[in-house]
Structure 1
């Protein structure tokens, strides 16, 4: 197989078109088209579906891109490291991270990483959806309690738990009346919360008074006395210590786990390894208290 033609194919697949690949690489569009056609002929496979305006990978093309793109990138990185006389991480590192972690911790983490590895071009995208790492060109993703995925490997780097908190001004009813609650727009139980409190387990009836999309907005609304809320302990621990919020109990349910995920088929690049080391340095044991301290 012609490795140069394979490299050109991956260039076009990564950029989603001959024109974009040509502009990004400075290579002639006609040359890239010819090399990909030659690769298709040598493999006797159609790698792209060519429409009037859209260029799309075929099933065979996607499989070839997934299995060879990362290997070629590793070869380029290894050659660059050898040529420069070292194995210091360099190049582009694309990360997808969830909203709350990005808002609270990723800015500081990214700065620490950039200062330590100035030759890495770090790009962080904030989104809670499950991205397609290969299709969208991510090197690493951070996810909360991700679903199992046979194509990815990873590790837990942080653990957290949900607690029910409220302003000291908001008293709990002695009877079973519902308490005002600040909840998320989606995904938050509004009929009641199962709480583990000092006096034992209880079912706390709630009446939503605010629906907000951001946990930071929810925390701020709870601080202002709008109602009680379920929030990660790392996000409110400083407020609890300062007396700005009071702890009504822990949510009876599974813990929150933050994972780093990356494709299992590729060798772990020096850039990804360096970022994993950065996370380990920031959160040695992965306890909620470490995240809370990091946010100060």
Structure 2
């Protein structure tokens, strides 16, 4: 049997250790648990050592497994850099990009942007997953992702695309809107929010004035688009990202309330593994995205 490392099996082994179980790793890699288990077993057979000690309830790396795990990230990273470089000739953009973006951002903006990109660069194919979490770019095979800040310290590289804010909106016929003058008046209205809301209340700013309002919506939904639709249907007031709210305000389906107040600005970034991982196709996509999102 040859002694070349199977990188797919190596990625599977590393993911099992990171996730703490074969079941969780199989979900992350989107493969059947039986397939992942066989890949790791084949890797152990290929190397002639046991890499993972298994019991009915836990698993841990053996001494040999720990040695391999410390080198796996570098090996997988170098292999990914090579893969990204393939298919490009003379710096001309071609090949495949696998990316991720938050659901609200992707649903509202990326359809038109990517259609225009494909018209300009027909030799580049795109696969964009909408994830409301930060993916592990190397482990999950992503070339890059769009992220809301702030970002944690990381060896990854980030390019700021624009700043985003949330604004308070309601249906134009919501009863009592004419009585809403100050943030403290919000307590008289039903509110709608995300199923996972930021801790500490709703922070609102008006110039140098900051207030924090209690924020415990009786209706919480899994995406900003669902929150938007509930507000349009008259469920109450919500803080929606401007990219979601502005198109509805323009059509008259929503109105902005307390227009002098908004949430603190948050930067939106494009994140990729390293400066060395930027291919011609990724570079032109980031530039194309930044051009479409350029702030006035």
Gaps of 5+ in 1: 21-28, 41-45, 288-296
Write the distance in 1 (CA, Å) between the matches of 2:194 and 2:43: 49
Q: Report matched runs for 1:254-269 at 5 Å.
A: 254-264=264-274, 266-269=276-279
TM-score (norm 2): 0.69
Q: Tell me the equivalent position of 1:10.
A: 7
Q: Are 1:123 and 2:133 counterparts?
A: no
Q: Tell me the equivalent position of 1:271.
A: 281
Q: Are 1:88 and 2:92 counterparts?
A: yes
Q: CA deviation at 1:33?
A: 6.3
Q: CA deviation at 1:77?
A: 5.8
Q: CA deviation at 1:221?
A: 1.7
Q: Report matched runs for 1:102-141 at 5 Å.
A: 102-141=106-145
Gaps of 5+ in 2: 15-30, 32-38
Match of 1:183 among 181, 184, 193: 193
Q: Are 1:98 and 2:102 counterparts?
A: yes
Distance change (3 Å), C-alpha of 1:195 and 1:159 = closer
Question: What is the CA RMSD across the aligned residues, in angstroms?
Answer: 4.0
Write the distance in 1 (CA, Å) between the matches of 2:50 and 2:152: 29
Q: Tell me the equivalent position of 1:66.
A: 73
Distance change (3 Å), C-alpha of 1:220 and 1:276 = same
Q: Report matched runs for 1:166-205 at 5 Å.
A: 166-170=170-174, 171-172=176-177, 173=179, 176=185, 178-188=188-198, 194=204, 196=206
Structure 1, 265-274 or 203-212: larger mean CA deviation:
203-212
Write the distance in 1 (CA, Å) between the matches of 2:98 and 2:10: 17
Q: Tell me the equivalent position of 2:146.
A: 142
Q: Hey, which of these two has a bigger chunk of strand by percent? A: 1
Q: CA deviation at 1:15?
A: 6.4
Q: Are 1:215 and 2:224 counterparts?
A: yes
Corresponding pairs, count? 258
Q: CA deviation at 1:61?
A: 3.4
Q: Tell me the equivalent position of 1:159.
A: 163
Write the distance in 2 (CA, Å) between the matches of 1:131 and 1:103: 18
Write the distance in 2 (CA, Å) between the matches of 1:280 and 1:259: 10
Structure 1, 114-123 or 153-162: larger mean CA deviation:
114-123
Distance change (3 Å), C-alpha of 1:91 and 1:225 = same
Write the distance in 2 (CA, Å) between the matches of 1:63 and 1:251: 49
Q: CA deviation at 1:75?
A: 4.5
